[in-house]
Structure formats: C-alpha cells, structure tokens
Structure 1
Amino acid sequence: MAPLTPFWSQPSHPNVQKVQFSTEKDFTTKSFSTISLPPFGFFAKLAFPPCTLADEATYATVQIGREQHMNLNSDLVYINHSCVPSVIFDTTSLSILAGPSGLRAGQELTFFYPSTEWDMAQGFSCFCGAETCRGFIKGAKGMGKGALEGVWLNAHIRGLLEERDAVGNGAVGNGAVGNGAVGNGAVDVSSSAVDIPAPAPAPAPTNGNSNGNEHKTEIANGDSNAKNEVDSMQFALHSSLQQAELLVSAAKHALATYISHYSKPAPPFSLAPNGVGSREMSGEMGGDTCNEKGVDGKRRGVTSREMSGEMGGDTTAVSCE
C-alpha cells in the first residue's frame, strides 16, 4: 500500500502529542506524549470531524464496530502498536485513555492493535521487544485466548471472540469443526476440517418391546448438550467477572493516584461557639415568638448582626415595648 500522505494541518494535537518523523537512520515515525496522566486518564477525543467513517479497512483505519472502521485524519494515526501499550483506544466512548500504568511525559504513545482490529488488512511483525510480544500481528481473529489475556479489548472484539470460541469449542455442523483459535498462539484450524461419521441407526424394537437403551441414549445426549451449554455460559460469565475485577482494581488505583496528587485534605470540622443555628436563621426559634405588634417581651427573630456573628448569636432578649 502507498504510504500515508498527511492532508491535515500539523501538528494536529500539539498540547498532548509530539510526532517524530522517520529519518534515514530510523524509518519508523513515532509519537510521544507531552503530558503525564494517572491510570486510565483522558488523553484525547476521537471526534467527528476530523475523524470520518471509512468505506473499507486499511492499514491506517481503526475498527470501531463489527463492520465499522474510521479514518483518524490527524497525527493520532502515528500512534504505533505495542504488546505492552501506553494508551487505550476506547471505541465505546470514542476516547484515548492512559493505560493501566498511567502515562509519562516523553513516553512513546502506543496501543495494542488487536484491541480494536479483528482482521487487519495488512499484518506485520512486531518488534516491541516485550517479554509478552505476540510476534506477527494481524488482528484478534487469529489469536488464541492466552495471547489476549490481561489486555484491554473493546466490546466488538470481545463479542466476535465469544462467537468464534463458541464455534471452536464443540459446535460441530455438517461434519466440520469450527474455525476457532486454540492454545496460546495464533492457530487456524479452518483447513483441518474433520469428518465425523453419522451414528448408525438404532435397531428397531422387536414385538413392540424396547430394552430402554434408546431412551437412555437420548437422555445421555440431552445431558451432554445441556452440559456444553452450561460450560459455555460459565466461561462467558467467568470472563465477564474477570474483566469487571480488572476494571474495579484499575479504578481504585486511579482514584488513589488522583487523591495523592491532586486532592487537598479537608479542614477538621468544628462548631463555632455561640453561632446562629439553621433553625434560628429560619426564624423557627426567634422569629415566631412575637405577636403582630412585637410585644410580650419576646424577640422578633435573628438580626443581621447576629447572622454575621458580630454579636455571637447569644444576645439577651429585651422587651419590645
């Protein structure tokens, strides 16, 4: 594919991003953060415009739904892939967030491409150098469960993975095993279809009598199907629970980080002596004790001086006559 030619005004995000364009020594264009953020802090909005929906997936688009892709049309396109990314592309909120470890000024901006891409138009070999490097990257479709554990995945990717794994974990139709990815690597078993012979028909009962084996077989098959359905549901619920626990843990960490950096301790609560209470200010204890002429030696209510604290709120009641 032809290299991307910027047509937008550059720099497009100077407040948060600095782009380092490729040179003769370094052929890779990179971008770096100019700000520091706590875990999952907001970095940039994927706004429309400049973003636009794409007619088809290319190496420069970002997938935002099962069949939807968008053009970034900004310097955000220079955020490269890493198996240990520094930011997250959240396609649900159309936002870029700091990763679970936060973001430092000067840190390279990277995100995990399979977190948004199901089947990339152009794969590549990753050279991030991380211990957990996945090697060849071509989207989440060809990656096993182990390769996707512990990383942020968008909702459309999780939905597609659940459908793929449901087929690969025992949903057999027309004698062919589904195209599920297995193990920790990217394994495609679509070319290894296995023909399963149909079971021989059960012998017809003699003299209208049956020994009950047919009924037992039906029950066993029913139990097996029910167990498969329960196992699939259990796995899905367990995966959802794991993600929820990760989000809760990350949110707690983000809150603690925010409080330690930005929050100021509240002053100790104390009561001022002889102050004017809310009931006294409303007249409940002072403004409803006089008659219409203001007699009977009772107070008319709280004066402005009392409310300001000048007289302490404890003035002596005098006759109104």
Structure 2
Amino acid sequence: MAPMKPFWTQPSHPEIQEVIYGEDENGFTTESISKISLPPFGLFAKLEFPPCTIVEKPSYSTVQIGKDKHMDLNSDLLYLNHSCEPSLILNPRTVTLTATSRGLSSKQPLTFFYPSTEWLLSQPFRCNCGTPSCLGTITGAGDAAPETIAQLKAMEIGEQGFGKGAFFSAHILEMLEEREHEHVAHNGNGKMNGHANGHANGHANGHLNGNGETERAGAGEDAGAKTAARRGVTSREMSGEMGGDTL
C-alpha cells in the first residue's frame, strides 16, 4: 500500500516534533525527533478531533483505538516509528501521547510500541530498532506468542499500567483476555470429551465381556498395578500431568 500523501499544513507540530525525511521514494523512511524533554509519563501531545478522524477500515497509517475502531492521525504524528523499547505511549483511552517511565529527552527519536494498540497490522514488517527487547517481525498483539505477551506484561510497573514502554491499551488487554478464555474453554471441552469417551468405551467393553466383566476388570487392575510398579514414575506424572494453560 502506498504511503499517505500529506494534505495537512506541515510542520503540524513544530514546537515538539522534527520530521526527518529519508531518501526512500515511497516515503516510508521518515524519522521523528523530539524537540522537548519530559518527565516520566509527561504529556507529549493530545490527539484532537479534528485533525484526527475515525475511519471504517484499518491501514498502515491508522491507529486502533478500540476492538473494531480505528483512526487516522492526519498530522505529522503519523511519522512516529515503532520501537520495542519506545519513547512514547499512545493511550487511546485518554487520546494522548505521553513519555514512558523513562521520561523523554530533547533530540530523542519519537517512537511507540505498535502492538500496544494494534491487534493485527495491515502491513507487518521487520523491526530494526536494535534494542535488547526487539521482537523481530511485528504483526500486532494478536499474532504474538503467548510467552512474548507474558514477557511484555511482566514489564508493566505501577498502578498506571505503564512499564518499559510496553503498555497495552485497554482494548488489546480485553482481546487478549477473550483469546485466553477461548483457549481455556477449548481445552476444557477436550478434557470432558476424553472422560466421556473413556467411560463410554469402558462400559461398552464390560457389557461385551458379559459374565467375565468383574473377573477381567480385576485382572486388568492387578496387571496395571504390577506394570506401574515395574516402570516407576513417568516424567508426565512427575510434571503433574499438565503444566497449566497458557495465555
């Protein structure tokens, strides 16, 4: 998809943002630099309507602000790049851009963590932020591995839910929770079906055996006990059968 052609007056935020344009003819290699310094969680910009507008479909230029709601920024704030250890938090609930827990320095690149707002990106990309926490390919929170989500959640500190920059918006947290519940429900049904099939098969075999049912069951139990005694405890039994459901 071709990049959005600016139709707004530029620069749109000259007091706080400097946009550096790269040599890429498609316009994808821009960079934003901060002109101000901020304390931890200090306000960088309020996202006003207008120039922001609600759009029907997501694109590379939109920001997700709800489970099925997206907006275009329609300003130079469009040129905030992604980083896995960003300098800004975009919070759809307050419709603001704020510094992370580390604060913000003048001349620091302006970035935010795209999966913090985006469930699935319309254009996934390879991240080149080069930070220790870099996730590699960025596709959105919905495609992130459960262990990755757990690590990002572990970064959060304080009552505000902000951490190393890996702040998840309320709608992303809600969608992650829904996915977890679906996963647990699916596993639960599997266990129930397994038990039901086991009982059904057991009863069927017993009836087929007729008069030998009691005698055969007893022999089976004795044989099973002897086999268990010979083999000892398995690694599956030592681990408690199941390690628990993932996110």
TM-score normalised per structure 1: 0.55
CA distance 1:24–1:165, shift in 2 (3 Å): closer
Q: 1:167 offset after TM fit, Å?
A: 2.0
The reply to whether residue 38 of structure 1 matches residue 53 of structure 2 is no
Question: 1:210-289 alignment to 2 at 5 Å?
Answer: none
2:51 corresponding residue in structure 1: 50
The CA distance in 2 between the partners of 1:94 and 1:110, in whole Å, is 16
Provide the rounded CA distance (Å) in 2 between the counterparts of 1:16 and 1:147.
Answer: 33
Q: What is the rounded CA distance, in whole Å, between the counterparts of 1:196 and 1:3 in structure 2?
A: 52
Identify the structure with bigger relative contact order (alpha carbons < 8 Å, sequence gap 6+). 2
Residue type of the partner of 1:49?
P
Q: Structure 2 counterpart of 1:146, which letter? A: E
Q: Which stretches of structure 1, 4 residues or longer, exceed 3 Å deviation after superposition?
A: 24-27, 172-176, 195-198
Is 2:157 the partner of 1:156?
no
Mark the CA change 1:144 to 1:24 in structure 2 (over 3 Å): closer, same or farther.
closer
Structure 1 position 144, deviation (Å): 2.4
Q: Quote the Cα distance in structure 1 between the aligned partners of 2:132 and 2:194.
A: 40
Task: Return the offset for 1:197.
Answer: 8.8
Distance 1:154 1:103 in 2: 20
Counting only pairs closer than 5 Å after superposition, residues 78-157 of structure 1 correspond to structure 2 as 78-148=79-149, 149=152, 150=155, 151-157=166-172
Partner of 1:273: none
CA distance in 1, matches of 2:24, 2:168: 35
| 8 Å contact from structure 2 (residues 126, 136) kept in 1 | yes
Tell me the SS of whatever aligns to 2:14: coil
* 1:70 CA drift (Å): 0.1
Provide structure 1 residue ranges, at least 5 long, that are not aligned to the other structure: 177-194, 207-230, 237-321
Letter in 1 for 2:18: K
2:3 aligns to what? 3
Separation of aligned partners in 1, 2:171 and 2:7 = 30
How far apart are residue 136 of structure 1 and its match?
0.5
Contact 2:3 2:28 in 1 (8 A): no
Q: Does 1:168 align with 2:168?
A: no
How far, CA to CA, are the matches of 2:13 and 2:114 in structure 1? 21
Q: Secondary structure at the match of 1:166?
A: helix
Q: What's the secondary structure of 1:171's corresponding residue?
A: helix
What's the offset of the Cα at 1:173?
A: 7.7
* Residues 196 and 101 of structure 1: CA distance in aligned 2, closer, same or farther (over 3 Å): same
Question: Corresponding residue for 1:64?
Answer: 65
Aligned pair count reads: 192
Across the aligned residues of Structure 1 and Structure 2, the Cα RMSD in angstroms comes to 2.9
Secondary structure class of the residue paired with 1:73:
coil
Shift of 1:2: 1.1
2:70 & 2:188 partners in 1: Cα distance? 31
Could you list the per-position Cα deviations for residues 62-93 of structure 1 after superposition, in whole angstroms to 9, with x for gaps in the alignment?
Answer: 00000000000000000000000000001000
- Residue of structure 2 in register with 1:12 after alignment: 12
2:36 maps to 1:21: no
Distance, in Å, in 2 between the alignment partners of 1:98 and 1:61 is 21
Deviations along 1:240-277, one digit per CA (max 9) or x if unpaired, are xxxxxxxxxxxxxxxxxxxxxxxxxxxxxxxxxxxxxx
Select the structure that is richer in helix.
2
Correspondence for 2:228? none
Q: Give, as a single letter, the amino acid of the residue that structure 1 aligns with 2:181.
A: A
Counterpart for residue 214 of structure 2: none
Query: Are the equivalent residues in 1 in contact too, given 2:55–2:71 (CA < 8 A)?
Result: yes
Q: Which amino acid aligns with 2:168?
A: L
Question: Does the residue aligned with 1:14 lie in a helix, a strand or coil?
Answer: coil
Change (3 A) 1:61 1:24: closer
